[in-house]
Every structure is written in structure tokens, then in C-alpha cells.
Structure 1
């Protein structure tokens, strides 16, 4: 019983050895004598130690790797490893992270340590010869496969050749350690080899690329872990079968072709397929599908390189591309230059291998190693190609906006690349911006900047028309509000220098111009820093404040504004009243009989006779008379207007359009003021004639009727004047002064002034919206028409009353003459009257009563009825809500002042009693 296990074990051992020998013969196609080296290799692999390491804790393994790096003086690599390990944990793509870390740690150990670490054999070592368990699996995996011809070569010698054949490590590691930002250096290979003591080789380099390759299941992750299988008589040979032939393509040929493809040049086996727009391996070659896919993936670098290179060459030759576009091309060319360094290193590596005769052993450049080395350059080229696509047909600020759209990328590697390129691209924009906001200079030959200038505009329209925003060129990292402030800042500097003749230097210019152009990144990193915003706000406020100070102090802007209020808006009451008194005789003439020099002389007389004489002489020189266009039947009152001449900087605020609006308002106010003047004359005549004509009792009713109609007109004009003077002009003027005092720049002053004019134009019913009637309701223009009709009725009433008073005075004089004659005859001792004289006097009085009084009464009735109709319609419109609240100030005064309605009740009791009842207005007792 005791011998059976041993015999079974011996049988099992023989069976295992026999099966393994048959398997090697079957795979290699060699005889049993020639297969001995591969059988020895299989024994070594199967006899390796597969036992689970004791330290299966991920944290312990990572700490062990980090401490080992620190002990070897590689503190930076230790920090990089810790950061990459943290990212690997956060991704959650790899489950057995501790096993991968342990494998990487084992690969970095020397062979001497593996030779000492011989634990118990694994399950696969049972039944194999004793020498099969002499070498651990990891050490075997690190050896290159041996062929029968080089089987005698020692492992240490091959390892030494492997380490000596790498020419990339020195460049890559130096670039990585010296450059704090991996912007251009990331095109270099990520995996390096370095020779160590004699027969010891150690693979080291950025662990990030290995972890990244493993986490993405990239086949390149197996480059240094799994031995490459050899076929034929040499490793790295790919067998290709055609229709009638069978030939082999060494892997070195594909690698050489790929190096050409990396530069955009077709190789021997890899050609550019125009139909598919990609590099493809020769279709006649019988290369395995996996190799084809690997080559296609590597050839993508060449396709991307061609795309970026063609864009750079095309746009660099375009002279209209502008500074921003040329900066973009320069940034792309810089990235391509770093890419050229990688290609140069690869070519040097291939040439070194060719000189040393290494061939395509495990120590040389292989396809899988190219995958690892081109991993970062591929990502970088993809990002550059994507930017090239999105930037086609764009320039200036639009191009910068397109690049900035990639700044929110989640990959810090890509984000650093975009930031580097965007910094270079935005430097011309930043330089132009500094010259604009500090010097007012705009050098934009190719229309790239977002501020546009029109050189054909003269200085008198500089502020309004010369400079504007080119919205398509505003970069997305600059807000519209910031763009407006930048526009106003440069425009203010040009306005001060060209219009105000003020060449004071801008505060803070020297400090701003001394800044490095790398500060251009302030513009697109405003979420991290307020430097750009503070700079723009500071220079904007300083420049705008200086401009306003010059306007107020040197050009007396407020004095001119107040002059507009006093003269064109009738704010100087004594001057306007005295001017009307002086002009009454001349303006009553037909408009064609007026002479401008006569009116100018009267204006100067009115100035000298009122408080206007104390105004500044410059203001009084600007005040003038203007005659409007004459229409048939116009009198001087219809065409007369005051004018105010403006020039220089103040013309920017008082534009010709604004002066036209002032004239429209003046014409309306002048007409309303004339009505007040006329009604005052009517009232004086009524008072004088009421006493004078009280001896003629037949005229009492007509006189009463004149008094009633005159009182209604006076009341209406007073309420209208109150509304215009206080509710419109004074309130709007107060708001204007407040806004002017609080204005931050000249645009705020202009906007406040235009708002002031628009308000008084609208509330005085002079706006464009008041020119139509809608439906059955009367709009503003309807009310304005009613007002003008009422003004005309007042003039007609004055004429009718003057005519009546003239005839009444003639009648009075005739009666007084008759009485005087009667007294004279009595004093002479004669009869006072004869029958003929009495009859003649009676006939004359009857004729007067039959002709003058009825016709005058009829005229007054018609005027009164027309006036009631004109006043009643606006009141009805205001009551039923068809008109906005802007004119309801008059309505409120009418409803609360009962004196007018009481007077109306005396004339038309039934009609106005109903009106009062409809509008819930109490009826005063004793009014009928």
C-alpha cells in the first residue's frame, strides 16, 4: 500500500512530462530532439510560484511601493504614484487592484531577489522535474524568448542589451522633471527602460501610464508582462500568406512603416486609403486581424498629424487670418514640434537597434510599446484635431470663443492643453484691449477685435456713430456688460482727445503696460480670479469720471442744460411774459410779413429788461429766434420759435434730433402760454367793459354769457398749464437732475436726457403714438386735436368779444352823445328832444338790438356749444378709460373743482346734472 502512491506519482510524473513534450511538439512543429529548449521553457513557466502573496491588502501593497520609491530617492515618482493610485480607486473599473499592484511591484524587483524567494511549488509544479521549479514565474516572464540559435546566451546578457537599447528615458524623464506644466512634454513616451548593474534590468517610469493602460484593458499593458511568442526561426516575425506564395513580414518593417506614418508619409505596407480617409495595411498581406487593428490604431496618430499640419500650413499662408489666427497656428506648431521630438526619438531608437543588430527582440521597439508611447500624443492630437474642426472659418474673438468652449473638459490633461493654447490665442486680444482702454488706439487691420471703428465719421458724431460693438467677435469669456464698459472706456479717451482737446494720461497706464502678456489668461479665468474685472472697472470709472468732470467744469454742461429749461421750456416766466408783450403787435401780422432781424432785436430787448440779463454771456449769445416753415394763412404766432445754438462737446448731448424735440415742445408750450396771455386780456376787457356798459341793460345777458364762457376757458387753461408745468415739466426735470448727478459715464447722461425729452413729449401728447385713432375711442392725438381746437376757439372768442365790445362801445358813445345833446338843448332853453329826434334815436336803438345783440348772442352760443363739445369729449374719454393715466391729472382737477361745473349748471342745468349724477359728483346747493 505504501508503494502505490509513489508509483502513482511516478506514473503521473511520466504522463505529465510526456503530455507536455507532445504539446510542445504539436505547437512548434519540431521533432522531439529539437523541441528540448521549448520544453525546458515550459517546465520553467509551469514550475513558477503561483501562490497567493501574503500581503493581499491593497493598502499595504501601495504603501510598500511608495516607501520603496522613497528609499531609492524618487520622491516625485512616489507622489505621482499616490495620485494615480487614488484616481484608479475612484474609477472602479478594475476589481483586483491589489493583484495588479503586487504584479507591478514584483516586476520592479531584481532577479536576485526572485532567486532567493523560493517558496513551496504550486499545483502546476507537481510531477515536473526538479529543475522546473527553480525560477519564479515573474522572472521567467521578464526573460525574452530564446531561439535555438541564441539559446546559449545568458539571461543577464539579454537583459543588459534590453536596457541599453532604450534611448527615450533620458529625454522623457528630463522633460517631465524640469517642466512644471506637462503641456508640450507629454508627447514623449510614457514607458522607459534603464540599464542597471550588469545583469540586472529594472523597468521604471510614470506609473500613471501603466495603471491607465491596465484600467482601460489596453493590449499595451501586456507589453512587458507576457512574453511574445516566437514563430519560425526568429521572434517578431509575422507570417503572411498570399494566393500562391507564403512570405513573412518582420514586425520591424511594420514599426518602420508606422514611424513614417506618424509623419504623414506612406510606408511600404501601410498606405493611405482616400476612399476611407484612413491609413490601411496592404489588403494583400495576410496579417492577422488583431495586428491590423493595432496598426490602424497606431496609424491614427499620422492621420491626426496630417489634419493639424495641413490646417497650420493653409492658415499660416493666409494673410487675412489675423493675429489671433496666427497665434493659434503658432500654438499648434509648437505642439507639433513636441510631437516631432517623439518621432525623432523613435527613429533614433530604430537606428540604434539596426546598428547593434538587435533585431525585433523583446528589447526593441514593438507595436505594443508604440501603443504605450503614443497614448498621450494620441489624446493630444485628438484634442488639436477637434479644435481645428471647430475653428474652421472663424477668426478673432469668434475663434477664441470656439477654443474656450473646450475649457470645461473634465480631463485635466486635456484642460491644461486647451489652457495653454487659449493663453497664446488670447494674447493678441489682450494686447489690443490694453491699448484700447489705456490709449484709445485701435489697431485691428483684420477686424478681429470686438470694438469696431468707422473712420469716415467726423468728430461731431464721434460718440454716437464712430465706435460700436462687433457682437460676433465678443469672446464668450467676456460678458456683454464688460464689453460695453471696454467700448465706453476707449471711446471716452478718444472723445477727450479729439473733441475736448484733453490729452491727460490715463491713470494706471504704466503699470498695466508693464504686465506680461501671459496675464491674458485673466480674461478666461474670471471664475478663479477678479484681476481682469477689477482692471476693467477701475480704468472705466477713472476715465468716465474724468470725462464728466471736463464737461461740467470746462464746458459748463449743467449751465446749458438749465438754459434749455428756462428758455425753450418757458421756465423763465418774467422773460417769456415780457417777450410776449413786445411781440404781440408783430406776431399778429401775417407770417410772410415778419423779418428775422426785427424779431432778434425784440429778443435782445426782452433779455435786457428781465432777469435773463444776468445769465452767462456765452449762454445769451446762443439764444436766438427761429421762424418755422410758413403755411398759407399762418400768423406770426404760428411760425415764431426760440432757438439755442449748440456746438463742441455739448452737441453730443444736445443732438440735432434732441433740438427738434425741444422745438416741438416749445411750440406746444408757446401756444398754451399764448392762450393764457389771451385769456388774461379777455378778462381785463370783461372787467373794464362790465362797468362801462352797465348803463345799457340790454347787454347784461350777453355780458353774463361772455363772463361764463371766459371763466370756463380760464379754468381749463389754468388746469392745463398746471398739468404741463408741474406734473410734466417739473417732475421730469427733477428726475433728470437726479440721474445726471448719479451718472457714471456720458452714456448715462445722454440716456437720462433722452428719457426726459421722451417723457415730456409723451405727456404733452406730441409723440408718434398719438397720431392715430383706434375704434370709437379717441387716442392722445385725438385729445391733442381737441386742445388745439379749444385754443382756436379761445382766439375766436377773443375776436368775437372784441368785436362785440367795439360795437357796444359805439352804441354807448351814441347814447352818451344823445344824452349830452339833450342836456345842451335844455340848457339853451330849447326843448330837449323833438319827435323826429326821438324817433331817430328809437329806430337806431331798435336796429342795434335787432342786429348786434342777436348776432353776437348767436356767435357766443355757437362758441359755447363748440367749446362744451371739445371739452366734453376728452372728459368722456378720460372717464371711460380709453386714454392712459398720463392725462388724468386734468380729469382729477375737473372732478374736484366744482366751480366750473356750477357755472355750467347755470347755463345747461339738465345736461350737467345728469353728468354729475353719472360720475357721482355731489351737487352744490343753489346751483339749480
Structure 2
């Protein structure tokens, strides 16, 4: 036939010619018959019943191989076909398979029939088979190496003379099966490795290649097989059969033991191998005539059955348990798929075992215990891994189950890691699917409580952010960090808060793209040390959702306006309003608390708003401002129970919770008291200034007035320093820090935390926490002394003013009588005036002087104790307050002069 030359190297004809050269290993000139034959097949018009059905084509190929007695090649084809399906390299796999089947069944031209037969009819090379064999029979002693024991266990394909040798140094094995008694084996292997007779067929890693292919494992590198020394050896089949027949140590036939093992592999008891429930293992009948070495080998092989039973029982017990959840069901599905691969191996072994009953198959191709040990080596390892996973996952579900499997993945063996990763990826798919729904839709479909985000359906919307959603820490997979879990929780919670509380249903950015992702991308959660796809996805969704929520709060619900209103009104930041309100309320708050009426106080509040700059605030804010009366105790006045209030609702209630409002009211009560002290001292100073000149005409008061002035100045200095500390070092510093944090906030939780820190700082530095209760009591005692001083001074000024008016009246009467030409005074008038003055000098001045002395002494002691407490306080700002209050060491020197003990020593002595 003339040689066909292809000029265009990219044409289909050129590609087909290159394929023929690649498959046959022939040159361009020698491959022409095969190229012409392939062209005729491809160019022919035919119809097939397998149109588009890849499964039927593969089934047809395997049936043809079984009819030809090539069961091992059928197993190899099944495994290779499965790998081809998993790679997704070819789009038209059924057409390729159908072409290969047609090529193997057709005849090439007459002048190349033998070459075509050798090409399409020969079997797979020895290194590609899925069931390698390990010779292990006895060796007949002889002066020359005899391979009769080894050849008895070799497959029949190795008893045929090899016709060709490929370039790698491995001989190709023809498909013919030697059936004659005098057949000989002629083989030539690469000279690099020459084992002794009886050496097992193994690769350099010590693991059997066929067992790897049986479960879809990768082929080990640097594989080198040799069964006989270099050169040609001739082994007689009759010698092999005789050598095997001389083994009289087995009272029970090996075939019976293998059949029992096949039952054992499937979890079924055999005739000689029984399951011992007490020891949880398979045991061999002790009465059976089996050598010890064989018993040990059978026990090792029976471990596959025990492991299979363990895994199968776990799958069957959990598969129909609905409470096990989706993650658990995925784990059972993964185990079931692994058992399906194990069933394939058993099918191959049973097909090999059936060859013994086929008279057309040589005896040397039968199944032996040693071959069975080689073939089940890797499957046993795989079953051990799965059984270990079953042990780890007992009693666990959801994220805890995934964490248990992930903990086993930290293994040094790549094979173990690959098996665990394959199963873990399938287990994590429900978690990943639920996570996507939560991140982009805020939906939590967790019927069996497997997900690490928990929801409480009994919580109402007003407590949605704080109480409805939480982390179920026991279900957080170990491959997801706590920070990631927190961000995932915040993202879904933000979506629900927007939709249910803020009534904003804007779709999450990137949802359309994200929800089209395949759940197989769950592997990205497991490989975060290799790639950052999962971390980037969580960060992007968290950032977009949180920012949108903050924009809604600031723009639609005016969060910052409400926060500033809290500062102006409840924390007394609006000075003109607070001062005018105190002026209006002075008369009413001086009454007993039981005589106050809420509607009167509300009217006064509205008057104060209209008269000050508060009137320019937003109308919505002014409507929320109200008056509140605290619980009344016996002896309380209006100053003790009056308080301002601020009503909040809607989304801002999430930040200004009822607990936070209570804290605001506590701070307001403290600031209101301190403001009242400032107000009282202002009245005291004004009275002193207005009465100083008028009362100067009474010489008896010259010793009392300076005393009142000095004590009043001390109190003014104390209150001014306390007010400066509260307003600037506490409120202003904490407020500035709060504004900075709110501006930089990335999510609502950050704002809530910053606001809570602000309130905690104000509470602690205003001595309202538990640690400062004694100091607060001391400060309130000082406040009470200031009020007592105001009352005492007012009483004194009232009595002094009355005395001054009486003396002025007496002088005016005397002047009037004198002007009328009468006697200015009579003896009775003088006696009455003398008695009145004596009464004033006897009762008012001494009692006032004594009262002021007691107040001054009590005030000195209380301030000294207060300073002593401040110096030992943990807060630095409070210790600095003690320095400012006693900047000239006046109280310290007074204490040293009196020899008074420090506060903590007096307290210790009292105890």
C-alpha cells in the first residue's frame, strides 16, 4: 500500500497519524497500514446502539474481556475508566471508548495482521495490572535456581514468551494463556534489579501497586519489578504443580480458607472463621488443622472484615437517624462511597476466586493467601483510617463532628491526609451551604442544631441584636477561627437587624455571584493555610453589610443626634438649660418629695426648653425628653427624687438599652447633686456678699462673719475642684474617646462596646461603682454638710437681720422722739432694749458660733478622710484630684498638728 504523506501537521489526519505512531511505537513509514485502517474506521458511516451511553460502552468492553478470560484486565479497565471520569479531560468519552472497542474487535489489512494482533490484542503490561501477585510457595532445592515454587503462583500470562520489549526496559506481556503442560517462560528484565527466586512482586516503597490501583490510589514512583534473574529461565508447569502438591501441612484446603476469608471480608461468618463478640474480633476454629503461621496470616486478613463491620454498623445505625443532622448524613454518605470502593475490590477477588472452578484456566492463576495479603494491603490501611474516623466521631454531630475529622487530618502521611480530606470535604458541604445562606440572606436553616450560630425564636425584635443570636462554641469547626466565627455571626445578625428592625431589605452586595458557587468549594475552609479565598469572602461580606447598617443608623435614624442629646441633657452638657431649670425648680424641689406633681414639673421643663438654646434642637429629640421621679424614701425632698428622662425606641434602642438608661440616670443623679452643691454655694456666697456690709454695724457679729466666709470659701474650693474633675477629666475625656470610636466603628457591635466602655468609665470615675462605695458615701456626707452650712447660715442671717432691724427700729424711735421734743428713751425702753440684746447675745451668737465650729470641724474631718481615700484609689485621675484639693497641704498639716490617725488606721482600730 502506498505511503500517505500528510502535509498539514495541525489537520485531523496528521493528528491521527501521530496518535497511531504514539500507540504502536512505529515510525511514520511502518505505521501506514494502521493509519489507513484507522482512517477507514473513522470515515465509515455506522449506527450504534450505544449512542451517547458511556456506561453501556464500558459495560460491553468489560463483558468482552470477561468472555476472553481477562478478568484482571477488566478490573484494570474499570479503575482506569473511573479515573478518566473524575478528571473531566475528554468531552466525548463514549465515542473514544467505542472507537477503541471497534479497533480491538476488527482486523487490520492482511499484510499487517500479525502486527495488528500484537497491537490491539495483547494484554496490559505487568506494571499496569490492578491485581499483582506475590510468589511465596516452596522452592524445590536444586543445584541451579529453580522457579517452580514461584511460577506456581504467577498468572498464566507470564508463562508466555514475550515478543516485544518497550523502551523503558519492561517486557510487554501478550494476551495468550499457556495451557500446555510443557510450556516455558522466557523473560528478560532490566538489569538494574535482580531478586532471588521467590521474591514478592513489590515496588520500591514496599507497597503493592495493584492494591493501590484497586482503591484508586496513585502509582508509586520508581517502580521496578523483577521475578527472575537476568537471562532466560525455563520453568516447567508440571514441576510447579508437583511442588504445590507436596505441601502437606494444610489439613484444611487453602481454597476453603480463602472462601471463608471472602465471607469474612463481607462481615459474614464462615465455616472455620467465626466472630467472637466477647473479644470483638474474628477467631479461627482452634480445632482446625491450620499451621500457626497461616493462622497469623488469616488473623491479619480477617482484620478487614472487623473494620468493615465497624464502619458498616456505624453507617447503618446513623443513616436513618434524623437527629444526626445533615453533616452526619454527609459523613455517612462519604463512608458509604468508601465502602462501595471496597465492594469493588471484593468483586475483583471473587472473580479471581471463580477461576479455580473454570477448567479452561490454568491452575497457576488461582488465588492464594499470600496474594490476598498483597491485594488487601492498601485497602486495610484505608479501612483503618475510616474506622479511626468513626471512633473519633462517636457521639458528635454538626461542627463538632467536622472538628473531630479535621483533627485526624494533621498527619504526616500524605496518603492518610488525602483520604481524610476527601471525606472531610463532603462532610463540610452542609456547613458551607448553611454558612452561605447566613452570610448573604441572614437565613438560618439549622433544624438539628449543627451550625455554630444559634438562634432563640422567643426573643422579640427589640432585643434581636443583643440576645437573639449567639455562637454555639461547641459547634465551631477547628478550621474556622474565633475571629472568623464572630464576623460570620455579625454579618448574618446585621442582615436580620436591617430587615426586621430597620425595615431595610436591600440585597447584600455580591449575593448573586456568591449563591451560584458550587458547594464543593467547601474545601476552601480546610485549606486556609494554602489560600485565602474563604477569609476574603468572609471579610468582604462582613465589611459591606456592617457598613450598610451603620449608614442606615446614622442617616435614617440619626443615631449621633440622639447620642449628643444624651450628653447635653442627661449628662448636664447644656449649661444654660440646666441652670435655668434649677432656678425654676428651686421652690418646688425644696418641698417634700410626696408633695411633688409630675405634670407641674413637666410644665416647668417645657418652660426651660423654650427659654434656652434647647429650643433649637430637633423636635423629635425634644419630644423624647421628659421628667422622671425616682422612688421616694422617708425624709426625701424634691432634690432627691427629681430626674430627667429620655425615651428611646426602634433601632437606637439597641445601643441605648434599658440597662444603659439606668446607668445614665445614676450618673444624672450624681451630677445633679454636685450641681446642686454648686448652686447652694452660689447662694451662700451671694448672701455673704449682700449681708457683709449690712451686718457690719453689729460689733458682736465680727467674729462670726469671717468664720462663715472662711468655711464657705473652703467649700467653694472643694466643689469647684470636684466639678472640674467631673466635667473635664471624666465626661469630656470619655466623650471625646467615644466620638472617636464611633467615627472609626466598623460594625454595630463596636459602637455598642464603645458606648458601654464610656458608661463604665463615667460610672467608675464618678465613684458610682462597687469599689468606690465608701468614697461616695464620704462625698455625699460632705454634700450634706454643705447643705447644713447653708441652712445654718440662712438661720443666722435671718436672726442677725432681725436683730439689725430691731436695733434700727430702736434708733429710729429714739431719733423720732427727740425730734418731737420728747425724751429719747425712758428707763423702761432702755431696760427692754437691754434685755432683748442680752437675749440675742446669749442665745443666737453662742449657738451659731458653736454650730459653725462643729460644722467646720466635721467638714475638716470628712475632707481629710475623703482625701486619704483618694490617695489610695486605683484610678490615677482620682489620686490627682486629691492633690488639687490639698494643693497647699492645708488639710495634711491640720491632720499632723492634731495628731489624727490616717483613715485606714482609724478604720482598722475601730474594727
TM-score (normalised: structure 2): 0.76
Equivalent residue number for residue 143 of structure 1: none
Comparing 539-548 with 193-202, which one deviates more in the overlay?
193-202
Deviation at 1:279, TM superposition (A): 2.3
* Distance in 2 between residues matched to 1:210 and 1:507, nearest whole Å: 60
**Residues 344-353 or 824-833, more deviating:** 344-353
- Matched residue, 1:171: 78
Following superposition, the deviation at residue 875 of structure 1 comes to 1.9
SS at match of 1:468: strand
Counterpart in the other structure of 1:255: 258
Counterpart contact for 2:814–2:824, Cα < 8 Å:
yes
Establish whether residue 868 from structure 1 lines up as the match of residue 853 from structure 2: no
Q: Indicate yes or no: 2:626 matched with 1:624.
A: yes
Please give the alpha-carbon distance, in whole angstroms, between the structure 2 residues aligned to 1:297 and 1:162: 30
> Could you report, residue by residue, the CA deviation over 1:560-584 in whole angstroms, capped at 9, with x for unpaired residues?
1100000000000000000000000
Partner of 2:52: none
Equivalent position SS for 2:514: helix
Q: Does 2:310 correspond to 1:307? A: yes
Q: CA deviation at 1:884?
A: 4.2
Structure 2 counterpart SS, 1:641: strand
- 1:223-242 mapped onto 2 (5 Å cutoff): 236=244
Q: 2:793 aligns with which of 778, 798, 801?
A: 801
- Residue 228 of structure 1 deviates from its aligned partner by 12
Q: Find the counterpart in structure 2 of residue 40 from structure 1.
A: none
Q: Which residue of 1 aligns with 2:425?
A: 423
Q: Are the counterparts in 2 of residues 590 and 636 from structure 1 also a CA contact under 8 Å?
A: yes
CA contact (8 A) 1:188 1:342 kept: no
2:132/2:208 contact within 8 Å kept: no
Mapped contact 1:439–1:490 kept (Cα < 8 A): yes
Deviations 1:208-230 (A, max 9, x none): 99545774799999996699999
Does residue 530 of the first structure (1) align with residue 532 of the second (2)? Answer: yes
Structure 2 equivalent of residue 650 of structure 1: 652
Equivalent in the alignment of 2:834: 842
Which residue is 2:287 aligned to? Answer: 284
Q: What aligned pairs does 1:402-417 form with structure 2 within 5 A after superposition?
A: 402-417=404-419
Residue 380 of structure 1 aligns to a residue in which SS? Answer: helix
Cα pair distance change 1:391/1:795, threshold 3 Å: same
Specify the alignment match of 1:267 in structure 2. Answer: 270
Q: Match of 2:379?
A: 377
388, 391, 404: which one pairs with 1:389? 391
Alignment partners' CA distance in 2, 1:248 and 1:459: 80
CA contact (8 A) 1:496 1:547 kept: yes
- After TM superposition, list the pairs within 5 Å mapping 1:487-506 onto structure 2: 487-506=489-508
How large is the Cα RMSD of the aligned pairs?
A: 3.4
SS in structure 2 at match of 1:646: coil
Cα deviation, residue 203, structure 1: 7.6
1:356 Cα offset (Å): 3.3
Give the match's secondary structure for 1:529.
Answer: coil
Per-residue deviation, 1:231: 11
Q: Structure 1 residue 642: deviation in Å?
A: 0.4
CA distance in 1 between counterparts of 2:359 and 2:722 reads 109
Quote the offset at 1:364 in angstroms: 2.0
Partner of 2:346: 343
Match for residue 132 of structure 2? 191
2:555 matched to which residue of 1?
Answer: 553
Over 3 Å counting, the alpha-carbon distance change for 1:204 and 1:598 in structure 2 is: farther
Cα distance in 2 for residues equivalent to 1:800 and 1:840: 28
Distance 1:427 1:709, change over 3 A: same
Native 8 Å contact 2:266 2:305 kept in 1: yes
Give the SS at the match of 2:643.
Answer: strand
* 1:579 alignment partner in structure 2: 581
Show the counterpart of 1:890: 881
State the shift of 1:690 in Å: 0.4
1-structure distance, mates of 2:131, 2:725: 84
The aligned residue for residue 20 of structure 1 is none
Q: 1:640 maps to what in 2?
A: 642
Distance 1:217 1:466, change over 3 A: closer
Q: 1:446 aligns with which of 445, 448, 455?
A: 448
Instruction: State the 1:790 CA deviation.
Output: 1.0
Is contact 2:308–2:383 with CA below 8 Å preserved after alignment? yes
1:661-684, Cα deviation, whole Å (9 max, x unpaired): 111110010011001001100111
Which deviates more, 453-462 or 375-384? 375-384
Residue in structure 2 matched with residue 769 of structure 1 by the alignment: 771
Task: Please name the residue that 1:730 is paired with.
Answer: 732
C-alpha distance in structure 2 between counterparts of 1:818 and 1:560, whole Å: 63
| Deviations 1:529-556, CA, capped at 9 Å, x for gaps | 1000000000001111111111111111
Deviation at 1:167, TM superposition (A): 4.8
Deviation at 1:338, TM superposition (A): 1.1
* Alignment partner of 1:679 out of 675, 678, 681: 681
Distance apart, 1:262 and its partner CA: 1.5
* Distance of aligned partners of 1:216 and 1:288 in 2 relative to their CA distance in 1, 3 Å threshold: farther
Q: What is residue 186 of structure 2 aligned with on the other side?
A: none
Alpha carbons of structure 1 residues 203 and 477: separation in structure 2 relative to 1, 3 Å? farther
Q: Secondary structure at the match of 1:321?
A: helix
SS of match in other structure, 1:694: helix
The answer to whether the 8 A contact 1:239-1:287 is kept is no
User: Structure 1 residues 233, 837: CA separation in 2 closer, same or farther (over 3 Å shift)?
Assistant: closer
For residues 383 and 129 of structure 2, the distance between their equivalents in structure 1, rounded to whole angstroms, comes to 13
After TM superposition, give the deviation of residue 414 of structure 1 in Å: 1.9
CA shift, 1:830, in A, is: 1.7
Asked if 2 retains the 8 angstrom alpha-carbon contact of 1:163 and 1:196, the reply is no
Distance 1:625 1:710, change over 3 A: same
2-structure distance, mates of 1:325, 1:442: 18
Q: Could you list the per-position Cα deviations for residues 255-297 of structure 1 after superposition, in whole angstroms to 9, with x for gaps in the alignment?
A: 2222222211222332223333222333222222222222222
- Between the aligned partners of 1:194 and 1:73, the Cα distance in structure 2 is 25
Deviation larger for 571-580 or 249-258: 249-258
**Which segment is superposed worse, 782-791 or 382-391?**
782-791
Q: Is the 1:641–1:666 Cα contact (8 Å) retained in structure 2?
A: yes
Q: Distance in 2 between matches of 1:219 and 1:521?
A: 29
Is the Cα contact below 8 Å between 2:403 and 2:479 reproduced in 1?
Answer: yes
Gaps of 5+ in 2: 1-20, 26-67, 89-127, 134-154, 164-170, 175-189, 194-199, 212-223, 230-234, 903-911
CA distance in 2: counterparts of 1:721 and 1:537, whole angstroms: 46
Inter-CA distance 858–307: structure 2 relative to 1 (3 Å threshold): same
Q: 1: CA distance between counterparts of 2:650 and 2:341? A: 59
3-state secondary structure, aligned to 2:693: helix
Aligned to 1:405, the other structure's residue is in SS state helix
Q: How big is the shift at 1:352?
A: 3.8
Aligned mates of 2:495, 2:580 — CA distance in 1: 45
CA separation of 1:616/1:230 partners in 2, compared to 1, >3 Å: closer, same or farther?
farther
Q: CA deviation at 1:694?
A: 1.2
CA 1:563–1:364 in structure 2 vs 1: closer, same or farther (change >3 Å)?
Answer: same
Distance 1:212 1:410 in 2: 21
The alignment covers a number of residue pairs equal to: 735
- Displacement of 1:253 in angstroms is 2.3
Q: Identify the match of residue 759 of structure 1 among 758, 761, 782.
A: 761
* Contact residue 194 and residue 203 of structure 1 kept, 8 A: no
Quick one: distance in 2 between partners of 1:622 and 1:188? Answer: 85
**Alpha-carbon distance in structure 2 between the residues aligned to 1:912 and 1:346:** 103
SS at match of 1:249: coil
Q: Do the aligned partners of residues 194 and 750 (structure 1) sit closer, same or farther apart at CA in structure 2, a change above 3 Å counting?
A: farther
Equivalent residues of 1:281, 1:292 under 8 A apart: yes
What is the Cα deviation at residue 319 of structure 1? 1.5
Asked whether 1:791 is paired with 2:783, we answer: yes
Q: Please list the CA deviations of residues 42-78 of structure 1 after superposition, one character each: whole Å capped at 9, or x if unmatched.
A: xxxxxxxxxxxxxxxxxxxxxxxxxxxxx99699xxx
